[in-house]
């Protein structure tokens, strides 16, 4: 199991550093056949990133990789479009 539920809202991904995004997506881009790495953090309307999540985002973006904080299905569809 990679996710441990604590109460109704808190989760921790075992084996990963604190602040790791909720999802990692590797998307094949056509027709160039290159993969696109995308880190996704899901938040509700009023949800805020923790200090650890902001630090993880900085590390990801420093490597030239995409990181998004997503607050709606529409935003997710647009990001992955």
Torsion of CA 64, 42, 9, 52, to 10 degrees: 20
Q: Report the C-alpha gap between 46 and 43 in whole angstroms.
A: 8
Phi-psi category of residue 15: left, alpha or beta, with phi > 0 → left and psi -120 to 50 → alpha: left
The answer to whether 46 and 69 have CB atoms below 8 angstroms apart is no
Q: What is the pLDDT along the chain (81 residues), one digit of tens a residue?
A: 355 555 665 565 567 788 889 889 988 877 777 888 999 999 988 899 999 999 999 999 999 999 999 999 999 999 988
The answer to whether 2 and 21 have CB atoms below 8 angstroms apart is no
Q: Name the strand (E) or helix (H) holding 74.
A: helix 73-80
């Amino acid at each position: 199991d990679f996710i441990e539920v604590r109460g109704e809202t808190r989760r921790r991904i075992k084996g990963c550093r604190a602040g790791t995004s909720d999802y990692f997506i590797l998307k094949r881009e056509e027709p160039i056949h290159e993969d696109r790495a995308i880190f996704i953090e899901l938040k509700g309307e009023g949800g805020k990133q923790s200090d650890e999540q902001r630090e993880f985002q900085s590390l990801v973006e420093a490597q030239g990789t995409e990181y998004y904080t997503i607050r709606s299905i529409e935003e997710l569809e647009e990001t992955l479009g």
